[in-house]
């Protein structure tokens, strides 16, 4: 498997966080213009960092984007 390229852009992180249940599904397609307020965005990152056992910073830091690029199961972490 090619070495995972860390998730660079916020857009990819948005797709990832909505794919795995941290953001509303609408965010999965950022081109739909689904605007996100800062609080929702930061909470989503905090939730993911907490679930994954990372330092909970609320920021898309390198440790977080690195983990987002690892191979994983496609089932959502947060289910309704």
Partner 1 sequence: FGSDSRSKRYALQGSRWKVKNLTYRISKYPKRLKRSDVDAELARAFAVWSGYTDLTFTPKSTNPVHIEIRFEENEHGDGDPFDGPGGTLAHAYFPVYGGDAHFDDAELWTIGSPRGTNLFQVAAHEFGHSLGLSHSDVRSALMAPFYRGFDPVFKLDSDDIYAIQALYGKKTTRGASYPTSPSTRKPSFVPRAEDNELCKDPRIDTIFNTAEGFTYAFKGDKYYRLTENAVAEGYPKLISEGWPGLEGDIDAAFTYKNGKTYFFKGTKYWRYYGRQMDGDYPKEISDGFVGIPDHIDAAMVWGGNGKIYFYKGTKFWRFDPLKRPPVKQTYPKPISNWEGLPNNLDAALQYTNGYTYFFKGDKYYRFNDRTFSVDEVNPPFPRPTAYWWFGC
35 or 62: CB nearest partner 1: 62
Q: Identify which of 25, 11, 78, 16 has the alpha carbon closest to the alpha carbon of residue 51.
A: 78
Angle at 75 between CA 39 and CA 26, to 5 degrees: 40
Contact positions with partner 1 (CB under 8 A) in 16-75: 20, 50-53, 56, 67, 69-75
50 or 57: CB nearest partner 1: 50
CA–CA separation, 69 and 80 (whole Å): 24
Q: Where do contacts with partner 1 occur on this chain (CB under 8 A)?
A: 1-2, 4, 20, 50-53, 56, 67, 69-77, 79
């Amino acid at each position: 498997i090619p070495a995972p390229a860390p998730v660079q852009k916020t857009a990819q992180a948005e797709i990832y966080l909505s794919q795995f249940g941290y953001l509303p599904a609408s965010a999965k397609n950022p081109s739909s213009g689904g605007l996100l307020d800062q609080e929702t965005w930061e909470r989503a990152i905090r939730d993911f960092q907490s679930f994954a056992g990372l330092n909970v910073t609320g920021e898309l830091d390198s440790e977080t984007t690195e983990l987002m690029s690892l191979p994983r199961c496609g089932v959502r972490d947060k289910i309704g």
